[in-house]
Chain A
Amino acid sequence: QKEVEQNSGPLSVPEGAIASLNCTYSDRVSQSFFWYRQYSGKSPELIMSIYSNGDKEDGRFTAQLNKASQYVSLLIRDSQPSDSATYLCAVNGVDSNYQLIWGAGTKLIIKP
């Protein structure tokens, strides 16, 4: 069974610090990787997508992908209280018929 693993947290980070969220996946042939943010009571919203090894930066967010080690991470620089949410990692590929396999999410708390 293809799996995506995330630490459920909560991960507590002081305001202004870097929050680091990690995700590992079991399917070696996964091709697309996504980070979504979900506020309590709301639906998920896309933060970043990444498809190739290395770093991808978008504002305060950086996604990092290492296919050899089968992990993908999300860094949030200069963390703000508004970043407090649950962050969901999702992975898909040919073997899963492109269906997203979801992690359970990491709850992030940014303390002022």
Chain B
Amino acid sequence: GAVVSQHPSRVICKSGTSVKIECRSLDFQATTMFWYRQFPKKSLMLMATSNEGSKATYEQGVEKDKFLINHASLTLSTLTVTSAHPEDSSFYICSAEQGAGETQYFGPGTRLLVL
């Protein structure tokens, strides 16, 4: 149980385009989903916390207009990287939890490369 999927697993796009990443909890309802970014050999960095039916809470320094988050249902959250630039190239990982303070389960991640 507690499986989280992400799609796509890998994406290459041209600079200036937008990329949507989906995160799904497959066998449980996630009240909260989290979006992380990780650069090579660096720590996980929380980008935003997403609660179903409400606006996402962004961490300091993360542009909400550039990284659009939609948590449309208890099993789906999407992250859209708008007008992507090469510096946005990174490993994007989502996680989901059933309830506040409960275990976070991670998706397999999406590797984004912006040319």
Residues of A in contact with B (beta carbons under 8 Å apart) = 31-32, 34, 36, 41-46, 49, 88, 90, 92-93, 97-100, 102, 104-105
Contact = CB atoms under 8 A, between A and B. Distances in A.
B101 A102 contact: no
A45 B106 CA distance: 7
Contact of A93 (B34, B43, B101): B101
Contact of A32 (B34, B49, B101, B106): B101
The B interface is mostly helix, strand or loop, or mixed, namely: loop
The A interface is mostly helix, strand or loop, or mixed, namely: strand
Nearest to A96: B101
Given A43-B93, A44-B44, A88-B44, A100 B108 contact: no
20 contacts: A32-B101, A34-B103, A34-B104, A36-B106, A41-B91, A42-B109, A43-B93, A45-B106, A46-B103, A46-B104, A46-B105, A88-B44, A90-B104, A92-B101, A93-B101, A98-B100, A98-B101, A99-B46, A102-B43, A102-B46
Nearest to A94: B101
Counting contact residues on chain B (CB < 8 A from A), the size range is 10 to 19
A43 B108 contact: yes
Which of A36, A43, A49, A90 gathers most chain B CB within 10 Å? A43
Contacts of A100: 34, 46, 104
Given A99-B46, A104-B43, A105-B43, A42 B108 contact: yes
Nearest to B6: A43
B42 to A, nearest CB: 9
Given A44-B44, A90-B104, A102-B46, 11 more contacts: A31-B101, A34-B103, A42-B108, A43-B93, A44-B93, A46-B104, A92-B101, A98-B101, A100-B46, A104-B43, A105-B43
